[in-house]
Amino acid sequence: MSILASWLASPPLEAALEISPAAVSVAVLGGRSSNPVVQGYAVEPLPPGAVTPSLTSTNIADPDAVARALNAACQSLGLKPKRVALVIPDVAAKVSLVRFEQTPSRRDDLNQLIRWQVKKSTPFPVDDACLTYTAGAHYAGGSEFIVVVARRETIREYEGVCERIGIEAGLVDIATFGVINLFLSSSLGTAGDWLVVHMRPEYTSIAILRRDDVLFFRNRAEGDAEALEDVVHQTAMYYQDRLEGRGFSRILLGGIGRLQGEVDLARRNLEARMGTVVEPIDPTRGAALTDRITATPELMATLSPLVGMLLRTRKEAAA
């Protein structure tokens, strides 16, 4: 699997934007395919409670405020995009890995089989949901699929605030998949098995990949009593016991914590617990910044999913 799942995909796209509880963020990529450059970005804060990501209930309580912030971000960039890549919070969707011993040859049969399989663990009617999937790893016991499902009403909430200012969401995906695509769609290299830990104030997502196949995905809600390093250690044990893991070629951590310095503390704790170097998730390894943009940890966390999405659309357009 070279590209992760999305609900809509028809590149190329003009910009990438993310709607999170704290802010609306927009980024634009320039330069040639072999030398991409972040030409500009903008971040507009949102009032508390305007966006509350959820799998089962309303996500955008104040669409007017979100639309105003999005419009302001675009105006500050001098940007009037018609179609964009849209990043939504991980917790607005459910990610499942589904394995079949035999895969139906007809796509309609596969669609029905996947819907039937995820129906058991999805807390809303799958027949009325947005569902997408992509082929994952192949095993002696069958093939696996990465499935992403969300309430149709939820996706329409996020698309709707874009439409209020004349923007179409040409691609929709969750934040951590945007981060993963930073590596899958660039020249950063994805050899061996690698672990990604992506932190946000509301959640932390943990993914294991074998080259470009997702083998494991877990979302941990903020406020979980179990320490993050313990959760990652348990994940590593599962990887060794159940996924035939022989060690990670790289461990990557990045994002935004609820508290100042939380990401750096998590990195130090993980390094101590895992006994290896934990690399920061750095979007500048996939796309350079223009001279007028100063790299800060906060900006790197903001740009990572956006740059990942834009690199992905370029790769799809060139395919």
**Residue 156 predicted with pLDDT over 90:** yes
Q: What percent of the chain has pLDDT over 70?
A: 94
Q: What pairing do the DSSP bridges indicate for beta strands 168-174 and 83-88?
A: parallel
Contact 131, 149 (CB under 8 A): yes
Q: What is the pLDDT of residues 31-84, one digit of tens each?
A: 887 789 999 999 999 999 999 999 999 999 999 999 999 999 999 999 999 999
Query: Amino acid identity, residue 64?
Result: D
State whether the Cα torsion 268-309-115-151 is positive or negative.
positive
In the structure encoding, which two tokens stand for residue 131, read together?
């569902």
Fold of 15-92+151-188+282-318: Nucleotidyltransferase; domain 5 (3.30.420)
Instruction: Check residue 2 and give its pLDDT.
Output: 38
The Cβ of residue 269 has, within 10 Å, a number of other Cβ atoms equal to 16
Phi/psi of residue 67, nearest 5 degrees: -65, -40
Reported as a single tens digit per residue, the pLDDT across 285-297 is 899 999 899 999 9
Question: How large is the average pLDDT for residues 174-199?
Answer: 87
- Inter-residue contact 45 to 295 (CB < 8 Å): no
Mean of the pLDDT values across residues 84-103? 95
Tokens (6 digits) for 51: 């966006």
Short-list 72, 73, 86, CA closest to 169: 86
Which of 169, 174, 223 minimizes the C-alpha distance to 196?
A: 174
Contact 40/310 with Cβ under 8 angstroms?
Answer: no
Per-residue H/E/C for 189-247: CCCCEEEEEEEECCEEEEEEEECCEEEEEEEEECCCCCCHHHHHHHHHHHHHHHCCCCC
Chain centroid, CA 18 distance in Å: 10
pLDDT of residue 179: 95
- Write out pLDDT tens, residues 242-268: 998 989 999 999 999 988 899 999 999
Residue 273: pLDDT over 80: yes
Range with lowest mean pLDDT among 28-32, 203-207, 214-218? 28-32
Q: For residue 259, what are the contacts with CB-CB under 8 A and spacing of at least 6?
A: none
DSSP state of 295: P
- 127 or 17, higher pLDDT: 17
160 confidence band (pLDDT: 50, 70, 90): very high
Predicted pLDDT of residue 285: 87
pLDDT for 72 equals: 98
266: helix, strand or coil: helix
Tokens found for residue 33: 């395919």
Residue 26, both tokens = 């927009």
